[in-house]
Amino acid sequence: MALKKLTSAHIKALLVRIGSPTTGAKPLLEARLVQDLGLSRLPLLAKDANTGSKCTRILSIDMGIKNLAFCVADVTLDLGPNQSTGGIEANFHTIAWRRIDVAHEIAEATAQSITEFSEGSLKPFNNTMEADDPFHPRALARTAYILLARVLLPYEPDIILIERQRYRSGGGAAIQEWTVRVNMLEGMLWAVLGTLREEKAKGAGLSKRHDLGFPNIFDVSPARVGAFWIDSAKVRQGAQHSSIPPKAIETGPEGEINEAKSSTISLRKMSKGKVEKKAKIQLVQSWLTDSPFSTEPATGSGRGMNTNTELTFSFTPHAEETRKDLCSTASRTKRLRSPSNELEKTVTVRKLDDLADSFLQAAAWVAWELNRLEILRDRELDI
């Protein structure tokens, strides 16, 4: 079909399928579609020694400080048509899938206590308020560097996906302080990665700038990932009609969804954001609960996967523990005693949406590439 004959709605639907922005007038949408169909999201940089097929390692980061989640996966493409669906397939082999408290992780990575982490490298400033504040730019800069150098980059990713942060006010007049802190960490991660890349280019010489073996880095809009996987109309409907016990879903300081600590008889409506977060968790659970693990059980549940493409998932033993934790129907709990040892409370320790978001972000990146290849292969457009 000729591109000029397509309506704006059809062009936007194609842009959603390949993960591109959908704002702008029709001429801009047409130009963006032509451009983005020619850009691969998965440069096949490595060789899989076992199968001989090319693979790309993706590191997907869901931003946070108390609850930063990341997923590392090796992706291989099967460009031949699937015998049953005729679509393109990808294998998504998860190497690592974790949620971390950044401060504790950095302290562990440097073999220091948290106190030493916040003060040891700042000895000239130990008597200042800045030295005692782990969120001061000076301390957070060191956090960003160690997080990358000792925790994330050792996985040797080919592609790094960083969740793009928004300045949210939560409906209030001011932006929450925690949002500013997470945004600051996001900016510092970009700055450190940019510096490392430029330093490597400088050492290799300008002639080798495009062949550095350094990861390609992309920001990913969480709204675009959500629009791809989750039907927005169903989310709005769920927000209008769903009611939950007040503590069945709780929002943490970084906006994360926690499992219920307790339930009561009184009900309240779920916000649109909470409905969408719950839908994302349920989507990942639908993929990963029953073997073989794939997106096939959820095909058609969102606007983006109404195609013949399919992702199949596998896990290393370490990542398998996270999968089991996410998909378990019974909440894991820990027992807490009061100082008098007379009262025990059961509280959940899982934060599900951070893990789901990091996984969905990486899966969306792969699905967008599969859809791009499918559109080009099937010659849906004359461009």
pLDDT tens column, 319-353? 999 999 999 853 443 444 444 443 333 333 357 88
Question: Do β-strands 249-251 and 257-259 pair in parallel, antiparallel, or remain unpaired?
Answer: antiparallel
Q: How many CB atoms lie within 10 A of CB 202?
A: 10
Residue 243 phi, psi (nearest 5): -130, 145
pLDDT tens column, 121-150? 544 444 454 556 888 899 999 999 999 999
The model carries a pTM of 0.79
Helix (H, G, I), strand (E, B) or coil at 143: helix
Domains of the chain (ranges, CATH numbers): 40-377 (3.30.420.10)
pLDDT tens column, 298-307? 544 444 455 5
pLDDT tens column, 73-111? 999 987 766 555 566 789 999 999 999 999 888 888 776
**Strand (E) positions, the chain?**
46-47, 54-62, 68-78, 89-100, 159-163, 216-220, 243-244, 249-251, 257-259, 268-269, 310-315, 333-337, 344-348
Interatomic CA distance for residues 212 and 204, integer angstroms: 8
In the 8-state DSSP scheme, what is residue 154? G
pLDDT band at 179; cut points 50, 70, 90:
confident
Which range is least confidently modeled, 67-71, 271-275, 306-310, 344-348? 344-348
